[in-house]
Copies of this chain bind each other. A is one copy, B any other.
Amino acid sequence: MATRNAFYAQSGGVTAVINASAAGVIQTARKYPEKIGKVYAGRNGIIGALREELIDTSLESDETIEALIHTPGGAFGSCRHKLKNFSENREEYERLIEVFRAHDIGYFFYNGGGDSQDTAYKVSQLADRMGYPITCIGVPKTVDNDLPFTDCCPGFGSVAKYVATSTLEASLDIRSMCESSTKVFILEVMGRHAGWIAAAGGLAGQGASEPPHIILFPEVPFNREAFLARVRHCVENYGYCVIVASEGAQYEDGRFLAEAGARDAFGHTQLGGVAPTLANMVKQATGYKYHWAVADYLQRSARHLASATDVEQAWEVGRAAVEMAVNGKQALMPTIVRDQSDPYRWHIGEAPLSEVANQEKKMPIHYITDDGFGITQDCREYLQPLIEGENFPPFEKGLPKVAKLKSQLVEKKLKAAFNI
């Protein structure tokens, strides 16, 4: 088999460990020079392929690639751009083939969530549909933990560790202050469609009296009265109440709490935030002093607190993707298969892209306690190993050191530009 180049791209919302997957891909590709020539990274994901903006990773030193393992964000740039169907946008596929052909790209590694696996699957069909042979492997990534077939998603374990740790630390703060000051604390976390991240906050404590006292999941319709009753119960019995709220918390009718109608002075709809909405509700109903935090991007970029398990898995799915490709496999995504929870053992499996694409894995309902406010023992057993182990980055002058890439683009070979 002739040596051909590889294309790697990051897609969708980035994570604390997506660059560890990039390192896994590039480091492993460098071990197969007889099969893989250069690894080109798309500048800003698939957009880079369409625009023929290809970062030549062969110009980056081994040290720089190694440093990707402790660098958050998407080092090559990511994007939110979903390829349409062949019939709807044949032009984009033709452009991809044009660029791939110009740069002799025979391998396509696409690092992302559900939408991205769908794109990867479509690209894998280029051979059959448009006569361009290309080996196509998806690399899983998403803090939302909602990809099917894989036991967990690289990126999730680190967010989970961050949210559990932050909940624990902030709870100690509130507990100190509750006698004469703040009694209610609300931490808003990500997870528009699934409560995985909110659930992770539950690892901060055990039992009803330990924080977090209330978790609000998108899966459980929000009931104002039950919520306020629980807040009152916690403050009266434990002195304080810590709440972890998913940004996706919603009413029975599907309205998000974060969009429940606040308006600014000009009458414009106020920007969301389930935390301030809940804080307002608590204040008006109970008068308790409150504080609230919205972790937002901090939670998914907190590489300084990454889970060692997650970092390892992120690197491994990158490695496995390349191994699959050089072994002639096609249209697959490496998965994490759990052998056992305690002690934790796992190995890499594989799933066909055709089945991964556009499926969402929901949180099992038996992971949520009957009252709807907490996580069950089953859920703890599932989550626990994912946050284990620390993998602190090196620090310099008090701050995490991050990879500094040259990010030099390959010279363009095509005359035409492409507007996307």
Contact = CB atoms under 8 A, between A and B. Distances in A.
Interface string A260-304: 111111001011010111011001100000011111111011111
Interface in A162-192: 164-166, 168-177, 179-181, 185, 187
A14 interface: yes
Interface in A98-127: none
A73 B276 contact: no
B44 A179 contact: yes
A176 B77 CA distance: 4
Contacts of A276: 270-271, 273, 276
B271 A280 contact: yes
A260 B397 CA distance: 38
A44 to B, nearest CB: 4
Interface stretch (A29-37, A228-236, A398-406): A398-406
Nearest to A300: B173
A294 B294 contact: yes
Interface stretch (A317-325, A367-375, A388-396): A388-396
B260 A265 contact: yes
A58 B400 CA distance: 39
B388 A169 contact: no
Given A165-B304, A279-B271, A280-B271, A173 B395 contact: no
Contact of A298 (B75, B295, B397): B295
B180 A47 contact: yes
A387 interface: yes
A384 interface: yes
A335 interface: no
Nearest to A283: B271
B270 A172 contact: no
A61 to B, nearest CB: 20
B172 A73 contact: yes
A396 to B, nearest CB: 10
A264 B280 contact: yes
A313 interface: no
A78 B176 contact: yes
A187 B296 CA distance: 9
A72 B173 contact: yes
A330 B322 CA distance: 70
A80 interface: yes
Contacts of A264: 261-263, 270, 277, 280
Given A73-B176, A293-B297, 19 more contacts: A47-B179, A71-B172, A73-B174, A165-B304, A166-B298, A204-B399, A261-B264, A261-B265, A263-B263, A263-B265, A264-B270, A268-B284, A271-B280, A294-B294, A307-B398, A384-B398, A387-B399, A388-B397, A389-B398
22 contacts: A72-B172, A72-B173, A73-B169, A73-B174, A74-B176, A80-B181, A165-B399, A165-B400, A172-B402, A173-B297, A173-B300, A203-B398, A262-B264, A263-B263, A263-B265, A264-B270, A270-B270, A271-B279, A294-B294, A295-B298, A384-B397, A387-B397
